Structure 1
């Protein structure tokens, strides 16, 4: 599933194409809004919150979510689409650009005054101007027995992380993803690492992950072969397992009795090199 940095980039592209311009055409290819036409309305802003994207006119907020396979593309008028036409769910066009949302998992239209209902249940936005790390820590701590690898995916705790970045956060923090939240060493530092990683991903080109999707390859820290395991949510046993990737040496399982060294406040800097060397641009 696309993560917060992907949606942040999509919002930036749509903002450049649509903001301050009048819509000349709209096509909602979802049954609920099949007859809705917002042509003639001006787009006054485009923004994101976690994995949610909003295209706003003075009265309406067009809310979309990419879910697993969604993507936004911006084309010049008449330019051939790079995705199959039957997967288009929403088209918003101006005189000089055409924004197309393909395979969107959610399309809904809200009154501007009601936009908050789409995000009220979410935790602090890792890429938002009002990022609140203390509130994120508080929310994560509400369920102390939950594995941290699952808690980081819960958007009601903090908004924007997905499977890739929760894996990277746990690795940089030397924490096994199955570790209960209450047993995580220095939870505020882990939250700080999550914020730094996602911020760097939003500002720099993507780099190869440290551990995600790399089972049996050497750990970049100690060269131990990386492992992949399913992680079941005990509170939702019917939910499909999510695969976790980790180093068994640097991130020993919580029941192993092994200890790791103390985690620095900013685990992103633990190698003694810049975040650019670690693949996440330069740290502040």
Structure 2
């Protein structure tokens, strides 16, 4: 799943290609908006909000999209072949004289009034890469439910926006606790360090094509996707188990030595998911 840094990259590329230019082609392949025509309007900006994308268009309109598991936006120059997937997976096309942005497999696509953007993103907590970032508020949100497992709390975009499953696992490793530790049991010094650490991880990766948390070439991540290989710190085999609130289970990786605390008694095999660890490390790029 694209995380906050990937969505930030996507917004940057879309903004560079579209902002300030008049749309010469508009095709929203969602029944509700099949007759909507945005041609002749100027794209004002493309802004990320957590894992959401807001494409603001002249006339007080915003095209809201969310990539979820495998959605993507690709940008093509005039005459360039589209390679993002088969035509039936295309959900949106926004074209200017020089570039065409094509949205593939977008599970969320809606056209709304810019004044109504809060209806789509108003539930989100402080954005780790946004101008509204507030570390104190983010921490207060996380601690509001002290019995909730830390991993689940980090994925809840109402607490802080931008963390996905990769960063959840890596943050818990860097904090030295398991993702199953109740948030309220997190030592005070580590809780205080959490917001800044999360922001730092996303900031240093937002301009990289390959996500990395270790600083080691060829060994990009500490735990995510590494089971049952040895921990980079202590050599203990990395473990994996599913974690979720019942609505969705996610493969969760941890080192049982470097991350003491509650964890499943035995490690069940994680189910196959649409994105491999390599795919989650290497972002979808806009060509």
Give TM-score, length-normalised by structure 1.
0.86
Match of 1:241 in 2: 249
- Deviations along 1:8-51, one digit per CA (max 9) or x if unpaired, are 00001100100000000100001110000100000111110000
Asked if residue 93 in structure 1 is aligned to residue 101 in structure 2, the reply is no
Match of 1:263 in 2: none
1:92–1:98 contact (8 Å) kept in structure 2:
yes
Q: Measure the CA separation in 2 of the matches of 1:21 and 1:39.
A: 11
Structure 2 regions of 5+ residues with no counterpart? 213-219, 265-280, 282-287
Deviating 4+ runs (over 6 angstroms): none
Q: CA deviation at 1:130?
A: 2.1
Q: CA deviation at 1:144?
A: 0.6
Match of 1:201 in 2: 205
Q: CA deviation at 1:205?
A: 3.4
Structure 1 regions of 5+ residues with no counterpart? 257-278, 280-284
**Secondary structure of the structure 2 residue equivalent to 1:44:** strand
Match of 2:278 in 1: none
- Deviations along 1:46-84, one digit per CA (max 9) or x if unpaired, are 110000001111310100000111001000122211121
Match of 2:21 in 1: 21
**Secondary structure of the structure 1 residue equivalent to 2:119:** helix
- How many correspondences in the alignment? 253
- Deviations along 1:221-250, one digit per CA (max 9) or x if unpaired, are 1111110012242xxx3x232221000000
Q: Measure the CA separation in 2 of the matches of 1:255 and 1:71.
A: 34
Give TM-score, length-normalised by structure 2.
0.85
Q: How does 1:175-254 map to 2 (within 5 A)?
A: 175-185=177-187, 186-206=190-210, 207=212, 208-233=220-245, 237=246, 239-254=247-262
With a CA cutoff of 8 Å and minimum separation of 6, indicate the structure with the bigger relative contact order. 2
**Secondary structure of the structure 1 residue equivalent to 2:241:** strand
Q: CA deviation at 1:255?
A: 7.5
Match of 1:172 in 2: 174
Q: CA deviation at 1:203?
A: 2.9
